[in-house]
């Protein structure tokens, strides 16, 4: 468990050993909200609804439902692993315990780099949709203004993360309420107009058959799942705050599980409303223009109140800009105090009790990545986001396997253990591994990238994914040669007393 670490120094935090993350800073509801906001529901829908409809037509809600299955199974792994190890490094710590330091280090690297790759894009979307909502469309087209505002937003959100987890939670609570309220208004009005026959599109009345993920055929389902499964990514941010959450052995894991369920309901509701209102032809024709689709539908559904939907996407992206920094910074902190990274990444602010150094490092590298890639082209930025799928599938699958491996001596003790701790996480990991292989195959073809260009004969997203992975391997080997302390850790198994004991509550 987290208390297994050296208490006086937390595995090597140097002069900051007496300072830890602030315990009991947030509760279950706060953790749930952070998990929801980290997925950026409104923006995720805006980004994928068109491409999924282009692949599977009216069965887009069914594909989103099918995409939920591996996420729920991996969320189960997060829940049970968090019960025995409340470490903010989550996958890094758990995989190290179950499978050894090499696999654990790579899992930690994957989590950290997902934050670096996506924060700039989220902030860019937040700025763009905010400007559209207030009628400053021309500013969106001005690259200098948009990128300047994007960098400023990242800095502000990073400062909120550093100032305190309580403040971050309060901001997130407001943002999720606004986002859900905006989306609910859109869904209700859109469906009302569908049944009233006043849409102006080739609208379709919803049917239960839309929930059939196999309706469009196997090949279309595969492509849809590649898009759909990653709109759920981010819910585990709640578990990264485990050391700062009340009832840390249980609440963060439950928050992760419930966030996937809430996301499922949200995604299905909005997907049904969008497909019913706009019809499949419009969505498929404009699959690559997520801003256009939601901006257009906002005006058609809500008229002069179109700013409501635009602000839903904006608040979604703003919230996710902040919450996406959390897993990367906490993972870097966890790695540093276990001496898997330089110790200064493990510095905790004595005033705010947050990992200030790792948080600012994540933000700084994310800003640099955003600005550099934008100089190449906007398509290159989108290609870097596509590369996220490789890293996400890797560390989710790794966590599923680690759960079964860590609990391996207890899987046959009960049906619950076998299904929820063993079979479920392994099946989830297998599905994600399959999607990872499919992603590699698809990304190897340059024609499947946003830019349509070839880098070394491959698609840019695959090249970006390979380079990031190789950089991680090189850094891991270099640090192993420089400081071998972390690599002295050996895999372990779950303690029977912890497996069968009820989740303890923090006091």
> How confident is the model over 65-76, as a mean pLDDT?
91
The CA-based angle 343-165-265, given to 5 degrees, is 115
Q: Tens digit of pLDDT for each residue in 2-42? A: 444 433 333 333 344 456 777 877 788 888 888 887 777 87
Residue 437 has pLDDT above 60, yes or no: yes
Instruction: Answer with the residue of higher pLDDT: 218 or 468.
Output: 468
Q: At CA 112, angle to CA 111 and CA 118, rounded to 5?
A: 90
Query: 357: which strand partners?
Result: none
Give the integer Cα–Cα distance in Å for 279 and 57. 9
Burial of 271 (0-12, 13-18, 19+ CB in 10 A): buried
Separation of alpha carbons 268 and 108, rounded Å? 32
Which helix (H) or strand (E) segment holds residue 65: the answer is: helix 60-84
What is the overall mean pLDDT for the chain? 82
CA dihedral 147, 153, 158, 164 (to 10 degrees): 180
The distance of Cα 384 from the centroid of its chain, to the nearest Å, equals 15
Residue 179 has pLDDT above 70, yes or no: yes
Rounded-to-integer distance, Cα 388 and Cα 394, Å = 10
Residue 245: strand, helix, or coil: strand
Spatial neighbors of 289 by CB under 8 A, at least 6 apart, are: 50
* pLDDT bracket for residue 231 (50, 70, 90): confident
DSSP-assigned beta bridge partners for residue 455: 458
The whole-angstrom separation of Cα 358 and Cα 343 is 10
Q: Convert the pLDDT of each residue in 328-345 to its tens digit.
A: 999 999 999 999 999 999
**What is the pLDDT, as a whole number, of residue 496?**
63
At 4 the pLDDT is 42
Residues 209, 253: Cα–Cα separation, whole Å: 33
> Residue 147 has what pLDDT?
92
Looking at residue 399, its pLDDT comes to 96
Work out the pLDDT band at 45, boundaries 50, 70, 90.
confident
**How far is it, in rounded angstroms, from Cα 210 to Cα 453?**
35
Ramachandran region, residue 279 (left: φ > 0; alpha: ψ -120 to 50; beta: rest):
left
The C-alpha atoms of residue 143 and residue 123 are separated, in whole angstroms, by 14
Please give the pLDDT value at position 288.
58
Give the span between the Cα atoms of 355 and 346, in whole angstroms: 7
Smallest CA-to-CA distance from 22 within 504, 349, 360, 363 is with 349
**Cα diameter, the chain:** 69
More confident residue, 184 or 299: 184
Token pair listed for 270:
């909005």
pLDDT at 15: 42
The partner residues of 245 in beta bridges, in order of sequence, read 26
CB 246 within 8 A of CB 28: yes
DSSP 446: G
CA dihedral 438, 440, 445, 451 (to 10 degrees): 110
Q: Which tokens is 31 given?
A: 């953790």
As a whole number of angstroms, the distance between CA 285 and CA 289 comes to 9
Cβ atoms within 10 A of the Cβ of 350, count?
A: 10
Are residues 385 and 117 in contact, defined by beta-carbon separation less than 8 angstroms?
yes
Chain segment 92-118, per-residue pLDDT in tens: 999 999 999 999 999 999 999 988 888
Cβ atoms of residues 234 and 71 within 8 Å: no
pLDDT on residue 339:
92
Residue 495 backbone zone (phi > 0: left; psi -120 to 50: alpha; other: beta): beta
Mean pLDDT of 309-315: 78
More confident residue, 506 or 210: 210
User: Which range has the worst mean pLDDT, 32-36, 139-143, 211-215, 499-503?
Assistant: 499-503
In the 3-class helix/strand/coil scheme, how is 280-327 assigned residue by residue? HHHHHHCCCCHHHHHHHHHHHHHHHHCHHHHHHHHHHHHHHHHHHHHH
| Residue whose C-alpha is closest to residue 442's, from 227, 280, 218, 288 | 227
End-to-end CA distance of the chain: 17
Instruction: Average the pLDDT over each of 80-94, 123-137, 401-415 and give the range with the smallest value.
Output: 123-137
Residues 330 and 237: beta-carbon distance below 8 Å: no
Kindly state the percentage of the chain with pLDDT values over 70.
86
């Amino acid at each position: 468990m987290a208390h297994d670490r050296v208490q006086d120094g937390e595995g090597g935090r140097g002069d900051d050993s007496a300072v830890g993350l602030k315990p009991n800073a947030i509760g279950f509801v706060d953790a749930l909200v952070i998990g929801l906001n980290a997925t950026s529901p409104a923006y995720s829908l805006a980004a994928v609804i068109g491409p999924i409809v282009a692949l599977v037509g009216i069965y887009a809600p069914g594909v989103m439902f099918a995409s939920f299955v591996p996420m729920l199974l991996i969320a189960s792994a997060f829940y049970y692993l968090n019960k025995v190890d409340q470490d903010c490094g989550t996958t890094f710590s758990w995989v190290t315990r179950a499978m050894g330091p090499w696999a654990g280090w790579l899992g930690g690297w994957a989590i950290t780099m997902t934050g670096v790759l996506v924060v700039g894009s989220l902030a860019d979307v937040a700025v763009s949709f905010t400007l559209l909502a207030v009628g400053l469309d021309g500013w969106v087209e001005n690259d200098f203004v948009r990128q300047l505002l994007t960098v400023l937003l990242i800095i502000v959100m990073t400062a909120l993360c550093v100032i305190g987890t309580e403040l971050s939670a309060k901001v997130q609570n407001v943002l999720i309420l606004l986002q859900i309220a905006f989306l609910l208004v859109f869904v209700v009005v859109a469906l009302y107009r569908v049944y009233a026959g006043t849409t102006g599109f080739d609208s379709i009345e919803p049917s239960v058959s839309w929930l059939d993920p196999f309706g469009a055929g196997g090949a279309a389902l595969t492509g849809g799942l590649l898009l759909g499964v990653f709109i759920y990514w981010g819910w585990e941010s709640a578990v990264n705050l485990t050391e700062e959450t009340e009832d840390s052995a249980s609440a963060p894991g439950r928050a992760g599980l419930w966030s996937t369920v809430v996301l499922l309901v949200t995604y299905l509701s909005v997907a049904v409303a969008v497909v019913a209102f706009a019809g499949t032809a419009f969505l498929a024709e404009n699959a690559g223009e997520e801003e256009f689709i939601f901006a257009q539908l906002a005006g058609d559904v809500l008229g002069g109140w179109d700013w409501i939907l635009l602000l839903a996407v904006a608040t979604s992206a703003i919230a996710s800009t902040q919450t996406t920094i959390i897993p990367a910074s906490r993972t870097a902190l966890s790695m540093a105090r276990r001496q898997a990274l330089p110790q200064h990444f493990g510095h905790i602010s004595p005033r705010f009790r947050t990992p200030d150094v790792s948080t600012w490092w994540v933000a700084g590298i994310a800003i640099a990545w955003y600005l550099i890639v934008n100089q190449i082209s906007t398509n290159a930025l989108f290609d870097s986001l596509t590369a996220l799928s490789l890293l996400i599938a890797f560390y989710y699958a790794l966590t599923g396997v680690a759960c079964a491996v860590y609990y391996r001596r207890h899987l046959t003790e009960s049906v619950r253990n076998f299904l929820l701790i063993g079979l479920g996480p392994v099946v989830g990991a297998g599905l994600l591994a399959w999607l990872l292989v499919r992603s590699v195959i698809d990304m190897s073809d340059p024609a499947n990238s946003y830019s349509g260009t070839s880098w070394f004969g491959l698609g840019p997203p695959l090249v970006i994914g390979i380079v990031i992975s190789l950089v991680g391997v090189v850094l891991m080997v270099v640090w192993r040669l420089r400081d071998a302390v972390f690599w002295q850790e050996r895999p372990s198994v779950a303690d029977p007393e912890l497996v069968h004991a009820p989740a303890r509550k923090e006091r």
